[in-house]
Amino acid sequence: MRSHLISLSTLLFVVDHAHAAIFPVQARTRPNGIYARADVNASTSSNGIPVQNTHNAEYISNITLGGVSIPVMLDTGSSDLWVATNVPGAKDLGKSVTLSYAVGQAAGDIHTAQLQFDDYTVNDQAFLMVTNTSSFSTDIGSQGYNGLVGLGPNSGSVIYQKIDDSTGDAVLNRIFSQNSTSQNFISFTLSRLGDPMDNIPGTFTISQVIPGFENITSMPKLSVEKVHKLTDADQHWQIYTDKNGVIGPDGEPIEISSIVPSAPDGQLVVVLDSGFTLPQVPRAMSDAIYGRVKGAEFDTSQQVWTVPCDQLLNLAFVFGGVTYPVHPFDVATSDFNYTDANGNPKCIGAFQPITSAFSLLGEYDLILGMAFLRNTYTLLDFGDFVKDASTDPGDPFVQLLPLTNNASAHTDFVQVRLNGVDTTGDAAHALLPASQMQHSPETEGEKKKEREEEILSRWPYILVGCLAFVLLCVGLCVWRCCCRRGKGVKGKKGKGGQAAGILGNNPVYQPLSEPAPPAMNMHPMGQSSYSDPYGRR
Ligand SMILES: *[C@@H]1O[C@H](CO)[C@@H](O)[C@H](O)[C@H]1NC(C)=O
Ligand SMILES: *[C@@H]1O[C@H](CO)[C@@H](O)[C@H](O)[C@H]1NC(C)=O
Ligand SMILES: *[C@@H]1O[C@H](CO)[C@@H](O)[C@H](O)[C@H]1NC(C)=O
Ligand SMILES: *[C@@H]1O[C@H](CO)[C@@H](O)[C@H](O)[C@H]1NC(C)=O
Ligand SMILES: *[C@@H]1O[C@H](CO)[C@@H](O)[C@H](O)[C@H]1NC(C)=O
Ligand SMILES: *[C@@H]1O[C@H](CO)[C@@H](O)[C@H](O)[C@H]1NC(C)=O
Ligand SMILES: *[C@@H]1O[C@H](CO)[C@@H](O)[C@H](O)[C@H]1NC(C)=O
């Protein structure tokens, strides 16, 4: 069952990259002159490494593998390293792996080679050398990267599962376990193109804080919400929002109930995933953010809200008592050359209804991707995700330092989107009353997934229930057999006959040798297509 779960979870991980890999095709950057080019020579190696920003849709750093420098996407939502380039001298372990992405399949053999990442050197790092990219729908090289480094927990690494010992460990696991003098954390900032006030370069660090942002260490430590042991291949960097932890454009909390059975009342489970361009949120939340904007339209083919670009929308998340405002540029993005049916440019509601990445196992509610992560300096501490690291044995946690000040973001917005004239208070920009809110249509596929989730997310309880039932039945049988033997001696009378009548001769339980109930096989997950509206373009 374990391997079954793992192969399914691979599906879950892989959708993460679909968006990032596909968006740039449509991406456009703002007209000349207003770039924050801060990411160009951001930092020296001792302060981490620069993160390059492609169209606000991909964040990329260089690694060196077998002496070759390779730009790779930084992905906190997965845990494997793959490169689509030849690494001379790499050792082929003769095990092939296929990772399915919405852009195509990354297939190849697992190899090992020396890796340099930031200041760290790892010998014999396992990675997937993808030799055939013909099924990729985009030329990833033209987007500025030639591979991907997963920055998630080791348990999610497909290579690790395949090799089945520590030589297959994910990159960070290797770094943290060989270097027990450091703290097991990574941290990063993501730059924002098209924002004249963005002066924060994209930087990625291992085991050190970016100078000037030391305050992150005094931010609340947000515990990583751990998924069930049996499905730990699905473990992501996931945390709880506070109660009423999503503040909508009207300044009021957006109240949505969690699909995660273990989530405390009023709190939501959020995955922090730098591999997603657009955050994925419950449909009702997306509607609450955009559905009250005058002129908002839902594009059903692309499954996004579109709003006039001159509409300022505030949005904020609350974690550990701290409010994290999202820049209005990130709430409604002009990064994608979107035009409506009449050819008029519109902005895309970046907080998109979650469809393909919906968690059928009920493990999370929303995925906060790049459009959120640009607003925080993010620190991810692996703690005991790394088993053999002696110095940082605590629970994994997340710390977030807010980087967006919504007053200056407002000024920013007026300058860029409103040509310097603040019309945000006009009647034309007032939100519609809640009673006139538009709702986006839910697809049949989504409804089906929601029903499936209600069962699948409760599988540990169902399993326990089934086991209890089986034990009860076995107990009854044993009891009945004993009674019969007893009756044989005492004569055919008494309660034994009634008990036999209740159970009859046909056992009502499933024998243990038969296949487990459907919920345990999780058929529906394997059937879901994870089709992504953006993926086909
Ligand atoms: C980047 O490099 C240029 C010239 O090499 C220098 O003037 C500038 O200060 C550097 N910027 C940063 C942020 O280091
Ligand atoms: C990666 O390396 C190439 C070639 O050395 C360089 O041009 C590019 O700027 C580097 N990218 C980053 C994000 O450091
Ligand atoms: C381990 O960490 C220490 C301190 O950060 C550093 O000096 C050393 O080079 C690291 N070792 C390796 C093998 O990277
Ligand atoms: C590459 O993969 C495609 C299918 O994804 C296959 O049709 C093609 O033959 C492969 N090319 C090589 C050279 O293996
Ligand atoms: C850092 O945090 C301390 C205490 O929370 C605060 O007094 C100080 O102003 C902060 N500094 C910056 C640069 O945010
Ligand atoms: C973006 O839109 C403009 C017109 O609004 C068009 O000329 C241009 O080709 C588009 N770019 C892309 C990449 O679609
Ligand atoms: C800042 O955000 C809060 C809450 O989202 C909002 O009520 C307030 O109006 C915002 N301030 C500005 C200047 O946009």
Q: How many CB atoms lie within 10 A of CB 189?
A: 26
DSSP for residue 156: G
What's the mean pLDDT when you consider all of the chain?
81
Query: Could you give the angle at the alpha carbon of 102 between the alpha carbons of 345 and 98, nearest 5°?
Result: 160
Q: Which atom of ligand 5 is nearest to the CA of 212?
A: 13
Contacts of 365 (CB under 8 A, 6+ apart): 256, 258, 259, 260, 263, 268, 269, 270, 281, 282, 359
**Residue 181: per-residue pLDDT:** 65
Whether pLDDT at 84 is above 50: yes
DSSP for residue 260: -
**Residue 389: per-residue pLDDT:** 64
**Residue 71: per-residue pLDDT:** 97
Residue 9 host element (H or E): helix 2-14
504 lines ligand 7 (CB under 6 A): no
| 3 Cα–ligand 4 center, Å | 26
**Residue 516: per-residue pLDDT:** 29
Whether pLDDT at 520 is above 90: no
Whether pLDDT at 508 is above 80: no
DSSP 472-503: HHHHHHHHHHHHHHHHHHH-S-SHHHHHHHHH
The three-class DSSP label of residue 449 is helix
**Residue 20: per-residue pLDDT:** 31
| 41 Cα–ligand 1 center, Å | 6
Q: Which atom of ligand 7 is nearest to the CA of 409?
A: 14
Q: What is the pTM of this model?
A: 0.79
Whether pLDDT at 364 is above 90: yes
Pocket of ligand 4, candidates 131, 135, 136, 137: which has the most ligand atoms within 8 Å of its Cβ, to mutate? 135
The residue among 412 and 525 whose pLDDT is bigger is 412
Q: What is the mean pLDDT of residues 411-436?
A: 96
- Least confident span in 180-189, 220-229, 388-397: 388-397
Pocket of ligand 6, candidates 25, 26, 28, 348: which has the most ligand atoms within 8 Å of its Cβ, to mutate? 28
**Residue 234: per-residue pLDDT:** 87
Ligand whose nearest atom lies closest to the CA of 184: 3
| Closest residue by CA, ligand 5 atom 3 | 215
- Structure token digits, residue 47: 């302060």
Q: What is the mean pLDDT of residues 310-335?
A: 97
Using pLDDT thresholds of 50, 70 and 90, give the confidence band for residue 278.
Answer: very high
Nearest to 446 by CA among 238, 289, 263, 300: 300
Pocket of ligand 5, candidates 215, 219, 400, 401: which has the most ligand atoms within 8 Å of its Cβ, to mutate? 215
Alpha-carbon Rg for the chain in angstroms:
26
Please state, for a pLDDT cut of 90, what percent of the chain lies above it.
60
**Residue 461: per-residue pLDDT:** 75
**Residue 36: per-residue pLDDT:** 30
120 lines ligand 3 (CB under 6 A): yes
Name all domains of the chain by residue range, CATH numbers in brackets: 12-442 (2.40.70.10)
**Residue 352: per-residue pLDDT:** 95
Ligand whose nearest atom lies closest to the CA of 43: 1
User: Tell me: the pLDDT tens digits for 11-67?
Assistant: 233 333 333 322 222 222 222 222 232 333 333 446 899 999 999 999 999 999 999
213 lines ligand 3 (CB under 6 A): no
**Residue 525: per-residue pLDDT:** 26
d(CA 225, CA 235): 9
Among 96-100, 138-142, 411-415, the range of highest mean pLDDT: 411-415
User: Tell me: the pLDDT tens digits for 191-247?
Assistant: 999 998 888 999 999 999 999 999 999 999 999 998 888 888 889 999 999 999 999
Contacts of 257 (CB under 8 A, 6+ apart): 266
